[in-house]
Each structure stands twice: as structure tokens, then as C-alpha cells.
Amino acid sequence: MNRPAPDLASFEDMARTVLTTLPPAFRAAAQDVALLVVDWPPDHLLQEMQIDDPLDLTGLYNGIPLTEKSQFDQPLGPDAIWIFREPILAEWRDRGDIELTDLIMHVVVHEYAHHFGWSDEDIASIDRWWE
């Protein structure tokens, strides 16, 4: 199946739209996390994580989860969520059975779950993928 892929700007818009679906209590706090949407995972991240194939990484949370943060932590930068367009598009094409917006939502929610320290039950209340 040959489906056209959105450009990077459109893909980023889809990822940012996911934030509007978060429960209000989380939506405001999510604004404190940088959302970075790029085509491919940077080489330094792949090396740090010992990942050989960049298609194996669709998203990444980089920071200290809220459930582990302390007032004594000295942040080196803002918490960030990376979303990788090309690996997500490859999975979407390979699967052929899911809408791209649903797959993007799944990856974005999963990465925010790392930030908020959400359980699987918490994730399932937002992202039906987990049911």
C-alpha cells in the first residue's frame, strides 16, 4: 500500500494536536515539556541507547519523570519529548491497519506517560491502544 506521507510541518501539527486531547490537569503541565518533532533520531541518541537501527525508535522522553523529581534537582535543560517522523511513517506503512493520526497519538501519549509517571491504566484512559 502506497500512502502519501505528510511533510514534517504537518506531522508536527498532528503531534501537537495530541496535547489538546490530554485531560485538563495534564494538559497544562505538558506545556512545560519541549516537544521536538524531527525526521530521524540523532546519532548521539542512538549511540547512547545502543540502538543500531533508527527505525527502532519512534519517540523518546528525555528528562526526569515528575514522580521522581526533587526540588534539589538541578535541571540541565527542559524535559523534552522527541518524536521521530520517519520511523513512525515506516511503522504506519508496514502495519497498514491503523490511521497515521492514531499511531502518532499512541507514540506521543506514551512519551508523555514517561514524563508524568503514568501507569498502564492511566494511559488506557487516554489512548485506547492499550486496551
Four-point Cα dihedral 8, 37, 58, 31, nearest 10: -140
Q: Which of 40-44, 83-87, 127-131 has the lowest average pLDDT?
A: 127-131
Question: What DSSP element (H or E) covers 34?
Answer: strand 34-38
Give the model's pLDDT for residue 74. 64
Exposure string of 25-55, with b = 16+ CB inside 10 Å and e = fewer, is ebeeebeebebebeeebeeebbeeeeeeebb
56 assigned to some structural domain = yes
Any idea what the Cα angle at residue 87 is, between residues 28 and 129, rounded to 5°? Answer: 55
Q: How many domains does the chain have?
A: 1
2 assigned to some structural domain = no
34 assigned to some structural domain = yes
109 assigned to some structural domain = yes
Q: 3 or 8, which is more confident?
A: 8
Q: Residue 62 is part of which domain span? A: 8-68+75-130
102 assigned to some structural domain = yes
Per DSSP, what are the bridge partners of residue 59?
83
Question: Region 13-34: what's the mean pLDDT?
Answer: 88
Give the model's pLDDT for residue 2. 65
103 assigned to some structural domain = yes
Helices 8-18 + 85-95 axis angle, to 10: 80
1 assigned to some structural domain = no
Confidence of residue 118 (pLDDT cuts 50, 70, 90): confident
31 assigned to some structural domain = yes
Per DSSP, what are the bridge partners of residue 38?
84
CATH of the domain at 29: 3.30.2010.20
Range among 22-26, 27-31, 89-93 with highest mean pLDDT value: 89-93
Half-sphere exposure of 87 (CA within 13 A, CB side): 19
Question: Region 59-71: what's the mean pLDDT?
Answer: 80
Percent of the chain with pLDDT over 70: 87
